[in-house]
A and B are shown apart, each in its own frame.
Chain A
Amino acid sequence: MAGGRVEQAVRESYGRLVAILSARGRDIGAAEDALADAILAALEQWPDRGIPDRPEAWLLAVARRRWIDRARRATTDEALSRSLALLTDIAGEIDLAAPNFPDERLKLLFVCAHPAIDPSIHAALMLQSVLGLNAARIAAAFVVSPDAMGRRLTRAKIKIRDAGIGFELPDRRELAGRLEPVLDAIYAAYGHGWDSPADDSQRHDLAAEAVWLGRTLVELMPQEPEALGLLALMLHLEARSPARRGTDGAYVPLSEQDPSLWSHARLAEAEATLARAGALGRPGRYQLEAAIQSAHAGRRLTGEPDRSTIAGLYDRLHRTSPRLGVAVGRAAAMAEAHGVEAGLRCLAELDSGRVEAYQPFWAVRADLLARANARGGAIEAYDRAIALATDAAVRSYLTERRARLLS
């Protein structure tokens, strides 16, 4: 009983405490170690003595003491000594009696997605340090070995410490450039959950964790339209999650989904969030992506998606952010709005080297060629799309489509 309540108390404050500690010692690894010591002490003491009135203050005080002890014992280690100096410098700065500690999670998010850190580890680093997910769970979600993920996370934290990345918020001039990798990392975490096979609950949970990161970012930067845009985008996709699979687990493409299965509460929240972003008057990539999803969701009211609006939004998105996924999405939208030939023309403009191993390209091409009655080309494209598909449900959907062409 007490164990569960202790875990919950810890879970709620984990990221806030890692952020407070690491922002002062500038060392995420040491902050996590110190907090782990404090959590262990809590698990030992709280069930007997009861949870303290202010669990966060208790954990923070113990963690800081453990960190200082550890740093003192290791004065030969230069980095630890430096963090000791930083920690003792601010010995009186964290007022443990204060009703609220400063929330330093935003600084931690910017550090995790600092341009001096390998972008491919940004998302994993955030999930670990801000949400407290362990390396094994992150590794499962990213489909790599726990050892490899653990090593990469450790390496990134050592780089942050040794390169002296400061826990300062970027100033206004830099903010746009520095915010983008933060948004991208959160969306990458979401994508890992979203793309997962239906039976992989660990990866599914990751989507929920990413939404939580998105909410945290919005809470910390309520005036940042792209943070709102990203949250709106993820909420739109989450809303559709119950309709993405048939009762038998089969893949259901968006155009065939039953809108009555979409979560209306999520959709309402997504729309309200996007409206808040729009009111700030600074459009951007994530707001456009959310607007596209919003236009798709309009089908539940009108029965038909607003095809020309979707194509127009894709056009705008493609002009500002010509990523491969956007280009392929735009081709599909053009086909819906202006006919199959228009879609195929968009696909033909893409560089063949870039699309060779890109599964969505082949899936869209197969569908458009099949609709244009180009059977040979369609079968060839289905073969490529099937070979590149990582989700078994998507694979069987495509295989069934391919079989229809032969019957």
Chain B
Amino acid sequence: MQYALLFYENSQQFTTREHDPETIAYWGAWKAYVEDISASGIVRGGEGLLGPDTATSLRIRDGQHQVQDGPFADAKEQLGGFFIIEVDDLDAAIAWAAKAPCAPYGGVEIRPTLTTM
């Protein structure tokens, strides 16, 4: 089965990416995770994302484009990146999610992909 692992980080972690003495540790942890999961051969795609400050949201209502600054949800945790992985079952996906550096601070959402036949 294919799953998207959606990595949610909190605002502190987004700040840490650029302006913090812990920046090296932050990127080091992600680099190790990416190397680990890539070496396992299960990755089908994925990217890290720039922070929610850079997000733009679009809705079309009554034919009108409504473009707004910021992400859809003003939540404490924001999407920071994702992987598409191919594993046997949900427990295997959960095991990979649990290794993500953001799991102890933000969280990981695990969604099966809508695979077209």
Contacts and interface: CB of A to CB of B under 8 A. Distances in A.
B117 A166 contact: no
B112 A162 contact: yes
B117 A78 contact: yes
Interface residue tally on A, bucketed by range: 10 to 19
B76 to A, nearest CB: 22
Nearest to B88: A166
Interface string B67-103: 0000000000000000000001111111000000000
Contact of A164 (B89, B116, B117): B89
Interface residue tally on B, bucketed by range: 10 to 19
Contacts of A168: 89, 91
Contacts of A76: 117
A166 B92 contact: yes
Interface of A: 26, 75-76, 78, 81-82, 114, 116, 162-166, 168, 170
Contacts of A82: 1
Closest 5 CB pairs of A and B: A166-B89, A164-B1, A165-B90, A164-B90, A164-B89
Interface of B: 1, 3, 88-94, 110, 112, 115-117
A81 B117 contact: yes
23 contacts: A26-B89, A75-B117, A76-B117, A78-B115, A78-B117, A82-B1, A114-B90, A116-B90, A162-B112, A163-B90, A164-B1, A164-B88, A164-B89, A164-B93, A164-B112, A165-B91, A166-B88, A166-B89, A166-B91, A166-B92, A168-B89, A168-B91, A170-B91
Contacts of B92: 166
Contacts of B94: 116
Contact of A166 (B3, B90, B112, B115): B90
Nearest to A161: B112
Contacts of A116: 90, 94
A85 to B, nearest CB: 11
A195 to B, nearest CB: 33
A50 to B, nearest CB: 41
B12 to A, nearest CB: 27
A76 B94 CA distance: 28
A75 B117 CA distance: 9
Nearest to B95: A174
A164 B115 contact: no
Nearest to A171: B91
Contacts of A163: 90, 110, 112
A88 to B, nearest CB: 16
